[in-house]
């Protein structure tokens, strides 16, 4: 039946027919009359999501595109320049900003993207040296949370009482390659190795401790070193926007859902914001809601009072240096 999906599309004169098997012994056929991703999406959702969930757009099935960190703790977002990757990240932050969550940013392009949300960030690193210190502080925070869980006989922070549960942290990394690439100097090698090890450790421990990673990249493969490959294995949620070569799509989707690679390659440069997302072997086309820079700044100002302090970050990184 899967092979006949294209024939069904023509016979029924619809936009697409998707055949899946959600459970053994059952086949689900979804026919979509018109392309729900045919034009950019604007506006804000009519409801606020549950803690650590964000409605960032619509899927090709016509349903809400929801990012759920409780279900999938860590995410990798890949896309070429102007593919919509930064807009997706801004939309995610806009949806998380009203929630009782600490948002921490690493943007080694001088804070060009994430500084828009500076007032809502508990910390922001704008170069690799600061990123290394911030990630080290996050590891200390993870160790403290492990100690607290052990003392209370809990396997994760979600087993702790509400009164003592630490605030969840979402770590946003814009263009992760800036952390891995080196110029050959000893200091650069040390910082890159420190950042690589810290991100991997957070990826391994973070789910149970309420520390979640969102890694954004144009490319994220073995050319960045073995640390990047190991980290990618910890990032269960994958999103691939328009890319310029097959290998970039394979880096994001190939190890989870090979069929999604071809779909990602079909995204054109004119379809800004359109992506293929895969979780647990299932993939779907989706498009993010547009978030303008003005909306990002207004969101940060509106919810600045919700920014929880993270003392371990240190004064130079606290609140992203927002003014």
Q: For the chain, where are the alpha helices, taking DSSP H only?
A: 5-12, 85-96, 128-152, 177-180, 186-209, 226-234, 246-249, 258-265, 293-302
How far is Cα 180 from Cα 196, in angstroms, rounded to an integer?
A: 7
Annotated catalytic, 95? no
- Selecting among 95, 175, 178, 250, the annotated active-site residue is 175
* CA atoms of 83 and 274, how far apart (whole Å): 8
In this structure, the chain runs to a length of: 323
Spatial CB neighbours of 176, under 8 Å, sequence gap ≥ 6 = 199, 215, 216, 217, 220, 224, 228
Of 288, 289, 180, 296, the closest CA to residue 242 belongs to: 288
Calpha distance 93→56 (Å, rounded): 9
CB atoms within 10 A of CB 210: 25
Exposure of 187 by Cβ count < 10 A (0-12 exposed, 13-18 middle, 19+ buried)? exposed
Active site amino acids: 175
């Amino acid at each position: 039946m899967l092979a006949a999906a294209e024939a069904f599309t023509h016979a029924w004169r619809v936009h697409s027919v998707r055949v899946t098997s959600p459970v053994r012994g059952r086949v689900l056929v979804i026919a979509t009359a018109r392309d729900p991703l045919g034009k950019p999406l604007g506006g804000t959702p009519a409801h606020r999501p549950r803690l650590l969930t964000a409605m960032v757009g619509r899927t090709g099935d016509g349903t809400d595109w929801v990012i759920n960190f409780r279900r999938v703790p860590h995410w990798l977002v890949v896309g070429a320049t102007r593919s919509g990757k930064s807009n997706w990240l801004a939309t995610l932050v806009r949806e998380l900003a009203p929630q009782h969550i600490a948002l921490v940013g690493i943007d080694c392009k001088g804070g060009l993207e994430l500084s828009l949300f500076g007032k809502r960030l508990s910390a922001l690193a704008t170069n690799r040296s600061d990123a290394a210190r911030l990630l080290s502080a996050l590891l200390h925070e993870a160790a403290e949370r492990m100690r607290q869980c052990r003392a209370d006989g809990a396997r994760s922070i979600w087993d702790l009482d509400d009164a003592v549960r630490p605030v969840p942290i979402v770590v946003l990394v814009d263009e992760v390659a800036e952390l891995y690439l080196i110029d050959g100097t000893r200091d650069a090698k040390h910082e890159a190795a420190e950042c690589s090890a810290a991100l991997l450790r957070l990826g391994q421990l973070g789910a149970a401790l309420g520390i979640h990673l969102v890694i954004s990249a144009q490319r994220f493969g073995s050319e960045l070193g073995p640390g990047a490959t190991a980290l990618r294995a910890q990032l269960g949620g994958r999103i691939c926007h328009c890319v310029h070569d097959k290998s970039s799509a394979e880096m994001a989707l190939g190890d989870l859902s090979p069929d999604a690679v071809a779909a990602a390659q079909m995204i054109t440069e004119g379809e800004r914001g359109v992506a293929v997302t895969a979780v647990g072997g299932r993939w779907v086309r989706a498009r993010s809601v547009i978030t303008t820079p003005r909306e990002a700044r207004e969101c940060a100002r509106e919810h600045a009072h919700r920014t929880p302090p993270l003392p371990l970050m240190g004064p130079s990184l606290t609140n992203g240096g927002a003014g």
